[in-house]
Structures are given as structure tokens and as C-alpha cells.
Structure 1
């Protein structure tokens, strides 16, 4: 009777790097764990670890009774690479970093594109979009942004201020733009921000008040 394990080995299109199949599994597992750690560090650049949720394959985040969201489906992130046989034959160990790092960078770029696309679509749907050109200046854009957003609290009830993610060009100009905000606009921004913080604390207090307190 034929050995199924031998047949499966012949059907496997991958190039086997080790004579011992168990060594192959150990190597594959090591590379997978390394890529997982690198991807976790990349993800942490964009999303707070406390805000990470997981779902079963094929599912969505949204309950069927709620209004449909712009995009709650899974997105595939993938990368392809070519490894020259000559460098493998020469035992060039630098090939490992020169292969894995570009893979991680490619997957990080795809992740960023996906997350900004989903956030942008959600913002468009509710009208939380600021046109910098129409606003007239960076300071006016900041003021309009604070008027549109809703500040929240973290799991400990502390204020969680929004993050600002900008492109390379604005990143270079940002210190100068912040330094040139007129005093009257800066005061108005702080006033609006204080109102938003007060509203966030009030909502959190109302939320906590809905829970019954244990009898003493």
C-alpha cells in the first residue's frame, strides 16, 4: 500500500531545503514567527494594541441588525519574492534580511493603504471630512477638525485624544505650521477642545450611571 506521506511530499511544489522534513518544519515555523513579530510591530504604528480585535475567517465586524458599514470584510495582504539560487549556494546569510525586510515593508504598506481607505470611507459617510484648501489655512483646518470630531475615553475612563496621521510633505511643514497658528485661533481651538473633553467625560458618566450599583 503506498505511503500517503511520500505522495504528499511529491505533490508539494516547494523546494525542500533540508533532507530531514522535520528540519524544514522548524525552519518554516521560525520564519513565520519572525514575520508575525515584524507585522505586529508594523501594526502597532497605526493601531493601539488595546483596540485590536479578532474575528473568525469569513465573518464581519457588524451585527446584522445594524446599518451596513462602508467596508467590514477581510482584505488579503500578500507579497512575492525571488531568491537567487547562486546566493543560496554561496551560503550568503545576508540574503535572509535582504529578503524578509522588503516583504515586511510591502505588507506594511498594503496594511496602511487598507486601514486609511476604510477610515477615509467611514469619515466620508458621516461627513467628518475637512477640505484644507477650502479652510484657507492649517489653523482653520485644525479648528474645523476639532469641531467635527468626537473625543472619547479609554478603558480607564481617561480622555483619549485623537491622533494625527500626516503625509511626508505635511510632516516636514508641521512644526512651522503649528508655530504660526494665530493666538486667537489657538484660543478658539483650545476652547472647542475643552468642550469636546467635557462632553466625553459627561457621556462616560452617563454610561456608568446605567449600571446598577451593588447594594451595601
Structure 2
């Protein structure tokens, strides 16, 4: 018994061109979503294997693995029948939002695992003050210096409620707290510049 092949879209060359153009668009949007989390110069492609080992790191025996991001989206058949072209935009936005959420979850998980491993954790419930917890976290970290030699300050990610509590607690503590934050910030910036100067000095004349 022979079965007749049903062509959903008869213009095959045009269909392939549309598919390629659409996936190119998705890839550009994916890269843009990633750039909101990581600077493009810090995002690299990896095209062979699923794990790697950095022997020059502080833990040369540690093996890192790729994590798979999976995203699902659907278009209702009725929308196709009704020629609702707006679903293409909604479909695309749904995929890009899913990518962005997945990247954020991966980043938070990686940071959390690194902090747990190093023990560099500040527990606000133990300190009892959101503002003082923020100050302690500031003291526990190091600032960086970018390729242009400018200070790279850390980012603090807080939910709406947590940020409101931090603001209110900082206001309660007054100018003394703000002055201490400014002092620690300046100290961290000076330390970062000193470390960078020491690092660069090792390459002079090489």
C-alpha cells in the first residue's frame, strides 16, 4: 500500500530560506539576551566535547561540564488556520524569554555553588540587618579592573522586597553607615588597582 506524501508548505526552497532566516534571527536574539548577563567578550563558543579541565587554575583537577538549556514553545493549529501572523512574534518572544530565564538561573546557580565551596557567604538572618549584611558582603569581595584599566564594581541582585528592606535599613543607620560603605568601596578600588599594577609589572620587558 502506498501513501501519498502531504506537503504542508509546497514552496520548499522558500520554506528552507525562511527557516534559515528565522533561526539566524533567534540566534541573534539569544546572543543579545546573553549579553545582558555576560559581556560579549566574556562569552565564548565551545564546539568540541562537553567537558574541559583548566590545569592552570587554582584547582587543576576540577573538571567542568556543559549544562544543557532546553526550551519548548508551541503554536496552536487554530492560529495557523486563522492566519494570525502575530503568533510568530509571540512565539519568538516566548523562546527568547525562556533563554534569558535559563541563563539567569544558570548564573545564580554557578555563583551559589562557588560561594558555598569557598565559604564566602553572608547570612542576613544571622546578622539581623539587611544594610549591615550588604556592608559585610562588600568587605568580603574583591573588585576587578577591566581591559581599559577601569574599576569594575560588583553587581548586587536583589528582589523588590529585599531591595526595599535594604533601603529602609540603610536610612535607619544614617550617615555613619553610608560613610563606611564609601570608605570600604574606596579601599576595595585601591586594592584592585594595586593588584592590577602588580600583575602588569610581571609582563614588563617580556
One of 35, 38, 48 as aligned partner of 1:47: 38
Q: Which residue of 1 aligns with 2:69?
A: 77
| Structure 1 position 191, deviation (Å) | 1.8
Gaps of 5+ in 2: none
The reply to whether residue 146 of structure 1 matches residue 135 of structure 2 is no
The reply to whether residue 183 of structure 1 matches residue 175 of structure 2 is yes
Residues 137 and 191 (structure 1 numbering): CA distance in 2 closer, same or farther, change over 3 Å? Answer: same
| Structure 1 position 120, deviation (Å) | 0.9
Are the counterparts in 2 of residues 71 and 118 from structure 1 also a CA contact under 8 Å?
Answer: no
Are the counterparts in 1 of residues 51 and 63 from structure 2 also a CA contact under 8 Å?
Answer: no
Q: Deviations over 1:139-179 (max 9, x none)?
A: 21111111110111000111111011112322454544444
| Structure 1 position 38, deviation (Å) | 2.1
Q: Which residue of 2 aligns with 1:20?
A: 11
Q: Which residue of 1 aligns with 2:198?
A: 206
Matches within 5 A, 1:127-166: 127-166=119-158
- Counterpart CA distance in 2 for 1:45 and 1:54 is 17
| Structure 1 position 77, deviation (Å) | 1.2
RMSD between superposed Cα atoms in Å: 2.5
Q: Which residue of 2 aligns with 1:5?
A: none
Corresponding pairs, count: 201
| Structure 1 position 200, deviation (Å) | 0.7
| Structure 1 position 18, deviation (Å) | 2.8
- Counterpart CA distance in 2 for 1:182 and 1:70 is 45
Q: Which residue of 1 aligns with 2:22?
A: 31
One of 56, 63, 68 as aligned partner of 2:54: 63
One of 107, 114, 126 as aligned partner of 2:106: 114
Residues 161 and 139 (structure 1 numbering): CA distance in 2 closer, same or farther, change over 3 Å? Answer: same
Are the counterparts in 2 of residues 150 and 200 from structure 1 also a CA contact under 8 Å?
Answer: yes
Are the counterparts in 2 of residues 151 and 161 from structure 1 also a CA contact under 8 Å?
Answer: yes
Other structure's SS at 1:72 match: strand
Residues 82 and 55 (structure 1 numbering): CA distance in 2 closer, same or farther, change over 3 Å? Answer: closer
TM-score by length of 2: 0.84
- Counterpart CA distance in 2 for 1:70 and 1:17 is 50
Q: Deviations over 1:14-68 (max 9, x none)?
A: x965323221221111221222222223222222223222323325454145416
